[in-house]
């Protein structure tokens, strides 16, 4: 089982922002984490008061995927509270918000 090399967090975040913007969405860094190896959380907003939080996980076969940290779409306030709590545990954490009425994440990996 060979794992995919991991892209530096800062490069990944900037590339994802660009990808979202090219597709007509807005994306911005809510919290800047460690440039080299900080974990990344995506907070998706459909601009209707709902949000979906995704965090990166590794599947049993070694592939990277994105997990729905709070289940399906819920209140933006719940997503914000969850993200705030995670920062207390991981000060190197990145939080990227993507605002897209279609709720797209713009990631290549599977969302589980």
pLDDT tens per residue across span 59-69: 999 999 999 99
pLDDT-derived band at 6 (thresholds 50, 70, 90) equals low
CB atoms within 10 A of CB 63: 13
What are the residues whose beta carbons fall under 8 Å from the beta carbon of 95, sequence distance 6 or more?
29, 30, 31, 33, 40, 41, 43, 83, 87
Domains along the chain with CATH numbers = 9-111 (3.40.1530.20)
pLDDT-derived band at 28 (thresholds 50, 70, 90) equals very high
Percent share of the chain, pLDDT over 90: 84
pLDDT of residue 25: 98
């Amino acid at each position: 089982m060979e794992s995919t090399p991991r892209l530096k967090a800062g490069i990944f975040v900037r590339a994802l922002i660009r990808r979202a913007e090219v597709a007509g969405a807005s994306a911005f860094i809510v919290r800047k984490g460690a440039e080299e190896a900080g974990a990344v959380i995506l907070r998706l907003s459909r601009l209707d008061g709902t949000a979906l939080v995704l965090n990166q996980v590794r599947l049993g076969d070694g592939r990277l995927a994105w997990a729905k940290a709070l289940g399906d779409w819920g209140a933006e306030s719940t997503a914000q509270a969850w993200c705030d709590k995670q920062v207390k545990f991981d000060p190197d954490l990145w939080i990227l918000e993507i605002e897209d009425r279609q709720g797209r994440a713009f990631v290549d990996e599977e969302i589980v």
